[in-house]
Structure 1
Amino acid sequence: MAIYAIWNNKGGVGKSYLTFQVACEYARQNPGKKVLVVDMCPQANSSSMLLGGMVEGETRLNAIHSQTRRVTISGYLEDRIASPYQSPGTGSTYLTQVNNYNPAVPDNLFLVVGDEQLETQASRVANATRPGPQEAWRIVHLWVADLIEDILTHWNHEDSCVFIDCNPSFSIYTELALSAAERLLIPFSADGSSKRAVKAVLSLVYGVRRLPTDPLSEFVINNNQFRMRVPEIYMYIGNRLTQMNNSSASAFKTVVDEIGDEVWGVWQTKPNVFCLHPNGAPAPTNKRTFKAMFQYEVNDANTASVVSGARGVPISVLPSGRANVAGKSIVVNQSQLDKQVPNIQRLVRNIE
């Protein structure tokens, strides 16, 4: 069993789309495992896609949010705000079996539904870290870990895999998500702001500093103080990369290489923050073997990507041909599927 956080300190890199595709494909490739998605993003985009896309999924999401008992991540956090330092053990009651809403998704995929109320809860969650018992910060930052443990206990610790979709901002609920995760997937797009965002990830979570005088984040300081686990870097993923012509391909490659160099530099000084894979693989000894282990690229499938997310149909089972999206007929070409489906399938085969 492994717990993956999917996070970059930047919006627009396709983080929720990647969560949707990877979780569905992992569940499809591993029918004997239970797969859990914990949606820690207030926009709840991965929940919307999993529940059926931008029309049906949004309708189902709104219905779940409208229930008297809010069976969402915010509902669970309300339990924890009421009992901040003693777990109520209610995590498994916030599970949603996705296939009950969206038959395109494998029946071994489960979801803790995202919720916009995370934003309004953030200050109350942060307030629970102070004042309180001496280890209040540590206890509060383990709330999502407690949620996952409740669910795994409910499943009798059957073979499983967990994916946490994180919000781009480094907010308190993002910190809780990262504190629960064992491994980190870092999606990025091929632009300069993605490069800055990857640098921010390395700084905020792992304390990588440009200069010795640069301040450490409170998250790093408190993690060191309480000897908390941080997720090990498992993979950085160029997501939905588009290469339209030779000049744009060259520009994309330059940015991807620069991001790779940034992460490679961290490997050289802090190899302990990386997760070697597959299990038992030798440590990389040069940039080429490092890239082969830790870098991955996913091609953009253009219209097929849009249709997949909008209809809540995983791209690996999305048929070519005409598709109805919000009342409009859109053509999905097989060539578009051929761009991305093998990428996603290979990516997931590399996730243990």
Structure 2
Amino acid sequence: MAIYAIWNNKGGVGKSYLTFQLASEYARQNPRKRVLVVDLCPQANSSSMLLGGMEQGEARLTQIHTQQPRRTISGYIEDRILSPYVSPNSGAGYITQVSHYNNAVPNNVYLVVGDEQLEIQSSRVSSATNPGPQDAWRIVHLWIRDLIVDVQNSWNDEDNCVFIDCNPSFSIYTELALTAAERLIIPFSADGSSKRAVKAVLALVYGIRRHAGDTQSEFFLETERYRMAQPTIYMYVGNRLTQMNSSSASAFRTVVSEIGKEIWEVWKTTPQFFCIHPGSASTPVSQKAFRDMFQYEVNDANTASVVSGALGIPIASLTAGQKPVAGRNISVNQSQLDKQVPNIRDLVQKIE
């Protein structure tokens, strides 16, 4: 069992799309394991895709959001606001078996549905960290870990894997996700702002100063104070990278290389921030070996990527041909699928 947070301190890198694909493909490759997705992003994009995509998924989200009691992440957070320092052990009551709504997703995928109400609740969650008992900050920051433990207990601790889709901003919910996770997957796009965002991840979570004298984040300082484990970096993933003409490919390759160098420098000084992959031959001693273990790239399947998310059909299960999207027939070519499907399958094989 492992718990993965999927996060970068930047929107638009496709973290929800990646969560959707990873969870679905991991479940397909591991049919005897249960897969739990915890959607901690108020936009609930990964929930929408898992539940059926742009139209059906949104309609099902509305249906779930309007039911009472509210069986979403916000329903669980409300439970915790009412009982901030003693777990109500209610987490198992907030999971949804995805295949009940979307049979394109394997039946061993379960979801704590995302909810825009998280935005409204965030100030109340932050308020629970102070005042309170002496270790209020630590207790509140373990709420999502408590939720996952509740679910795993209800499954009799059977083998499972957890993916947490995070809010891109460094909000209280991002902090709760990171204290729940054991491993961190950092998606990025091949642009300069992604490089800055990766630097922000390293600074905010691991306290790595960009400049001498920089103030470290409260999250880093408090996790150090309470000796709470931070998630170790499992992989950084260039997500839906564009492949066009040779000049475009060269430009993208340059940016990917620069991001890789940034993370390589962190490895050289603080390898304890990284998770050596189970079953790997050895600890990397060269930049190439490091890149082979920790860097991965997922090509953009262009129209096929859009259709996969819009219809809630995992890319590995999507077939070529005409697909109905928002009242129009959109053509998916096999060549588009061939760009991304092998990437997703291979990436999942690297996940424990």
Instruction: State the match for 1:201 in structure 2.
Output: 201
Partner residue of 1:244? 244
Q: Which residue of 1 aligns with 2:331?
A: 331
Distance of 1:242 and 1:224 partners within structure 2: 39
User: Residues 78 and 246 of structure 1: is their aligned pair in 2 closer, same or farther, counting only changes over 3 Å?
Assistant: same
- 1:349 lines up with 2:349 in the alignment: yes
Task: Give 5+ residue unaligned stretches, structure 1.
Answer: none
Cα distance in 2 between the residues matched to 1:281 and 1:178: 28
Give 1:282 deviation, angstroms.
1.3
Percent identity for Structure 1 against Structure 2: 71
Amino acid at match of 1:43: Q
Residue 326 of structure 1: how far off its partner (Å)? 1.1
CA RMSD of aligned residues (A): 0.6
TM superposition score normalised by structure 2? 0.99
1:247 & 1:313 partners in 2: Cα distance? 33
Q: 2:303 & 2:280 partners in 1: Cα distance? A: 39
- Alignment deviations for residues 191-238 of structure 1 (CA, whole Å, 9 cap, x no partner): 000000000000000011122301100000000000011100000000
C-alpha distance in 1, partners of 2:350/2:9?
Answer: 24
What residue is the counterpart of 1:79 in the other structure? 79
Q: Could you tell me which residue of structure 2 aligns to residue 270 of structure 1?
A: 270
Shift of residue 280 of structure 1?
5.1
| Alignment-derived partner of residue 90 in structure 1 | 90
Runs of 4+ aligned residues of structure 1 deviating over 6 Å after TM superposition are none
CA distance in 2 between counterparts of 1:166 and 1:85 reads 23
Name the CA distance, whole Å, in 2 between partners of 1:204 and 1:168.
13
- Cα separation, 2, equivalents of 1:206 and 1:196: 15
* Partner of residue 43, structure 2: 43
CA deviation profile, 1:109-133 (whole Å, cap 9, x unmatched):
0000000011111100000000000
- The residue that corresponds to 1:167 in the other structure is 167
Query: What is the number of residues matched between the two proteins?
Result: 352
The aligned residue for residue 58 of structure 2 is 58
8 Å CA contact retained: 2:199, 2:210: no
- Whole-Å separation in 2 of the counterparts to 1:317 and 1:268: 40
Map Cα deviations across residues 122-159 of structure 1 (whole Å, 9 max, x no partner). 10000000000000000000000000000000000000
Report the equivalent of 2:191.
Answer: 191
How many angstroms apart in 1 are the aligned matches of 2:335 and 2:345? 16
Match of 1:230 in 2: 230
Structure 2 segments unaligned to the other structure (5+ residues): none
Tell me the SS of whatever aligns to 2:61: helix
Task: Identify the residue that residue 140 of structure 2 maps to in structure 1.
Answer: 140
Partner Cα distance (2:280, 2:344) in 1: 23
Give 1:247 shift: 1.2
Q: What CA distance in whole angstroms lies between the structure 1 residues aligned with 2:62 and 2:92?
A: 21
- Tell me how far apart the structure 2 counterparts of residues 300 and 198 of structure 1 sit (CA, whole Å): 20
- Report the Cα distance in structure 1 between the residues aligned to 2:323 and 2:85, rounded to whole angstroms: 50
CA distance in 2, matches of 1:279, 1:250: 33
2:313 matched residue in structure 1: 313
Secondary structure in 2 matching 1:316: coil
Work out the CA distance in 2 between the residues paired with 1:129 and 1:281. Answer: 43
Q: Which residue of 1 aligns with 2:301?
A: 301
Structure 1 CA distance for aligned equivalents of residues 236 and 211 of structure 2:
24
For normalisation by structure 1, the TM-score amounts to 0.99
Q: Distance in 1 between matches of 2:202 and 2:341?
A: 30
Partner of 1:114: 114
